[in-house]
Amino acid sequence: MGCYKGHSQINCMEAIRNGTADVAILDASDIYTAGLHFDLVPFISEIYDLDEPGYYVVAVAKESDPTTELTYLKNKNTCHGGINTAAGWVYPLAFLISNGWIRPYGCNSIRAAAEYFSKSCVRVH
């Protein structure tokens, strides 16, 4: 077995597409990009002895603001762990878009978030 050292998740996806690599281990949030842009398909996933596989996302807010919950974030200030990370970006935005609270703008989730939230801080990887 040989190892190809990719410089990023996207670089690894490109390497599989062009035949330089055969397999990549990706974060859950990268699976969407892998399928959409590189026609890659997941064939294995991690399950940690749970009754049902799951991915937990935690959101925090000031206790003194009872209107802060996921369905009432319009015009709120938000902070995200990172663009295209599962918990910090993909899951919350996908939830809001799929339930019709945010306009999807195709796959431009950054534009969708910018028009929905008042201000946001986002870590760029």
Least confident of 72-76, 83-87, 94-98, 108-112: 83-87
Residue 89 in any domain: the answer is yes
The pLDDT assigned to 8 comes to: 87
Residue 59 in any domain: the answer is no
Of 91 and 51, more confident = 91
Domain shared by 75 and 115, yes or no: yes
Looking at the DSSP assignment, which residues form a beta bridge with residue 119?
77
Residue 108 in any domain: the answer is yes
What residues have CB less than 8 Å from 8, skipping those under 6 apart? none
Instruction: Domain of residue 86: give its range.
Output: 70-122
Query: What separation in angstroms does the CA of 117 have from each of 3, 22, 38, 114?
Result: 42, 40, 30, 6
Domain shared by 110 and 75, yes or no: yes
Instruction: Tell me which residue of 58, 55, 9, 1 sits closest to 35, measured CA to CA.
Output: 9
Residue 31 in any domain: the answer is yes
Domain shared by 5 and 38, yes or no: yes
Residue 12 in any domain: the answer is yes
Average pLDDT over residues 90-112: 84
The pLDDT assigned to 45 comes to: 63
Domain shared by 37 and 2, yes or no: yes
pLDDT in tens, 4-55: 788 888 998 898 898 888 888 787 778 778 888 888 887 766 655 666 656 5
Number of domains in the chain: 2
The pLDDT assigned to 122 comes to: 78
pLDDT in tens, 49-88: 666 656 555 566 655 666 666 667 788 888 877 777 777 7
Residue 112 in any domain: the answer is yes
Domain shared by 34 and 77, yes or no: no
Residue 35 in any domain: the answer is yes
What is the longest distance spanned by two Cα atoms in the chain?
Answer: 56
DSSP the chain: ------SSHHHHHHHHHTTS-S-----TTHHHHHHHHH----------S-SS----------TT-TT-SGGG-TT-EEEES-TT-IIIIIHHHHHHHHTTSS---TT-HHHHHHHHSSEEEE---
